[in-house]
Amino acid sequence: MAKERAHFFSAAEQELLMEGYGEFQNLIKTPGNTSKSAKARREGWQKVAEKLNAATTGPTRNWEQVKVKYKNILQNATRKKAEQKKTGGGPAPPRHTLAEELALGLNVNRPNIQGIPGSSSSLDPQPGSSSSSTFITDLRKIGLSVFGTEESSSEYCSGS
């Protein structure tokens, strides 16, 4: 028995999906790889699907279909954005749909990678934590220079 193809999302459904994503993105973007964080993300997608299904008379969508459609919208928007940056002749690239514009707007300054939960960053040291800048400061206290100055570098290079 073959799996039946899902119905296409209308433009209005795509816009509702993006609005729902914006409303519940705090759940959907829950960091971590624990079962608790995965459950929170799934609940976020379920809420988006419920909102979408309540507002439309079309086919009922489950959270997995909604999640895949969101990822497809974002992927298409990113692809079109990259096409627009290319130079050269030829026809102009296709314009973004409203849903794609919303997807790009909701993901502005989104990090491509995330840090390890519970860890600290050397860019944002916490009081009482060890960081590389603290280590460098300690080396300077005992008279060692990690980076040196231009004068010490030139002396070292000239051999004087």
pLDDT for position 102: 82
Q: Specify whether 28 is located in the same domain as 70.
A: yes
Task: Tell me the residue range of the domain where 45 lies.
Answer: 8-110
pLDDT for position 49: 96
In a domain, residue 59? The reply is: yes
Model-wide pTM > 0.85: no
Q: Specify whether 47 is located in the same domain as 84.
A: yes
In a domain, residue 124? The reply is: no
Calpha distance 114→111 (Å, rounded): 7
Paired tokens of 28: 């959907």
Q: What is the CATH number of the domain that holds 50?
A: 1.10.246
In a domain, residue 3? The reply is: no
In a domain, residue 82? The reply is: yes
In a domain, residue 119? The reply is: no
Judge whether 71 and 103 are in contact, CB under 8 Å: no
pLDDT in tens, the chain (160 residues): 677 787 899 999 999 999 999 999 999 999 999 999 999 999 999 999 999 999 988 899 999 999 999 999 999 998 888 887 776 666 777 788 888 888 888 776 665 555 566 665 555 555 555 544 434 444 445 554 444 444 444 444 444 4
In a domain, residue 115? The reply is: no
Total domains present in the chain? 2
